[in-house]
Amino acid sequence: MSQPYGTDKRRYLRYDILDYVVIDLDNSATSINAVIVDISLGGLQIRSRDQLPVGELCSVRVGCADLPPLALRGEIRHSTLMENSDLFSTGLKFMPEGHSDRMAIAEYVHDIFQRQCDGLLVRPEM
């Protein structure tokens, strides 16, 4: 059965965010510095100056504002040059190695969700 045009097939809601991340590819000694532009329970999307190899497994280190850095496993799902830019848009799928990894992802995404909700509830002073 075909999906209507524009239907998103993602399992999880995505939340916009600007946060730093370091990607360490399993088959390379090079670390890639990037910026996260959105995140969900299933993965994240980054912007970087480097095209990352699709299918490659990697370590993902996210700098958390009030928490210790989050270190997870991931798989690069796509990496394409953005139009009119020298940046690549890369999608990574989280590959949690156990319950503690899944909980760390859930807590981090929940914290982002909570901060965004709190921002919506703040009313200007009169």
Taken in order of first residue, the domains within the chain and their CATH numbers are 15-121 (2.40.10.220)
Contact call for residues 26 and 57 (beta carbons, < 8 A)? yes
Average the pLDDT over 118-126 and give the result: 59
Q: What's residue 86's pLDDT?
A: 95
Q: What's residue 126's pLDDT?
A: 54
Q: What's residue 1's pLDDT?
A: 38
Of residues 4 and 116, which shows the higher confidence score? 116
pTM to 2 decimals? 0.78
**For residue 74, which of 29, 49, 35, 41 has the smallest C-alpha distance?**
41
